[in-house]
Structure 1
């Protein structure tokens, strides 16, 4: 099993040599990020590029070309994300609806127990939805890589193969620890970006420049975990 530091170090080097050293590719990716952001993910060219990163287990970052294919692959990734998130969304909406109805009933009742009950139900629902979201994310991260290898959308939902690949590869325990580390790194990155955006103009330029790098960094970590390397 590859070590956590090796996986992260390899992903960092991948970003450096593939994008920072090839700055023209980096600039194109920034432009594509702007397009994806302003079209509210309707033109998901960066997502399509991430699919290309997932599909290649080597350490050579892919070129940014064939924009039609990037668009199609980006929408495949959108569809996978939406379908995987449906259970968490249903739980959040169901408990949220019950909580709202109970809270409204409490406003018209003499006592406040219904109101308190509604808040409790809503809170429990959001907590359950969050737990389901975390579990789904663990599988979905590998589903991205699994379908990217073949290009077949249905492969993203081969849950048995995906979970078996995790078990036989890095192992579930190590995989969960790996993503706890990644979530912590993402939190640090989020706070850094939040701080930078407080600086007029310069902060937003940093946000535009760093976000694509971070997306590719996370995608490469996904790929390294899936392929159980470096």
Structure 2
């Protein structure tokens, strides 16, 4: 089933080049902050399609329109993920502050408090991260209800039904696929530059430094406007398909 999800998601993400470019433009302007929420909003829409769809179905890519609604959806995704990671961050900071104060009296005890606090915060951050992924899916599957994103009992049960090891293995598989695709694309682009002599032409025309900068900018542009949006859609589609609502849920 997991391999089918990967296959479906890889093919699904290739449906429409214009959508990839639009999403890529939003990613490019993410330094302005507001476009980040549009990217998350489109992530929401892909999740929505996937959680209500089926593997190897005929689902289409969501339209890139109604930006106000997409912005609000993106804000919801950000809010849920932020709250889930807030507790580990608080514990991390608290351990540093308390440990630092104790160190003034006993350095060994203070260092121990900081070490234990950091370990606990890392473990909780990993746990809450995996919970947040399914929490967002549960919110999206239930018509964007933020309340359902914090229905911990249902979310825990959903993950348990999938199987924790299977769920973690699935996500690690996503990371591996994304990493491999990124590396392969980078190698292909480098080979194209070398084979066609384009990099050499840039160097001859503009000098070594400018030529390398131009080649690097073009490579980054290809990744930013095509590969990165493709991988974002791939990830959200796969996560939506692994989500299995509890009996009685829509």
- Into which bin does the TM-score normalised by the smaller protein fall? 0.7 to 0.9
Separation in structure 2 between the aligned mates of residue 44 and residue 194 of structure 1, nearest angstrom: 28
Distance 1:134 1:191, change over 3 A: farther
**1:127 alignment partner, one of 115, 119, 122:** 119
Equivalent residue, structure 2, for 1:208: 224
Give the deviation of 1:173 after TM superposition. Answer: 2.5
Distance 1:135 1:154, change over 3 A: same
Sort the Cα spacing of 1:78 and 1:227 in 2 relative to 1 into closer, same or farther, 3 A. Answer: same
Separation in 2, partners of 1:101, 1:181 = 42
SS in 2 for 1:201: helix
C-alpha change, 1:194 and 1:45, in structure 2 (3 Å) is same
Query: What's the counterpart of residue 16 of structure 1?
Result: 14
Conservation of the 8 A alpha-carbon contact between 2:26 and 2:35? no
Give the RMSD, CA atoms, in angstroms. Answer: 2.9
CA contact (8 A) 2:27 2:36 kept: no
The yes-or-no answer on 1:25 pairing with 2:19 is yes
- Pick from 171, 175, 178: which aligns with 2:167? 175
C-alpha distance after superposition, 1:47-86 (max 9, x if no partner): 0011111111333211111101001101111111111111
Q: Is 2:132 the counterpart of 1:140?
A: yes
- 1:193–1:125 CA distance, 2 compared to 1 (3 A): farther
- Residue 190 of structure 1 and its aligned partner are, at CA, apart by 7.0
Residue 177 (structure 1) shift = 1.7
Q: How far is the alpha carbon of 1:187 from its aligned partner?
A: 5.2
Equivalent pairs counted in the alignment come to 212
Where structure 2 has 5 or more consecutive residues not aligned to the other structure, the ranges are 54-58, 190-212, 246-250
What's 1:55 paired with? 48
What TM-score results when the alignment is normalised by the length of structure 2?
0.74
**Greater gyration radius:** 2
Q: Which segments of structure 1 move beyond 3 Å, counting only runs of 4 or more? A: 99-103, 116-121, 183-196
**Could you list the runs of 5+ residues in structure 1 that have no partner in the other structure?**
107-112
Answer with 64-73 or 212-221: which moved more: 212-221
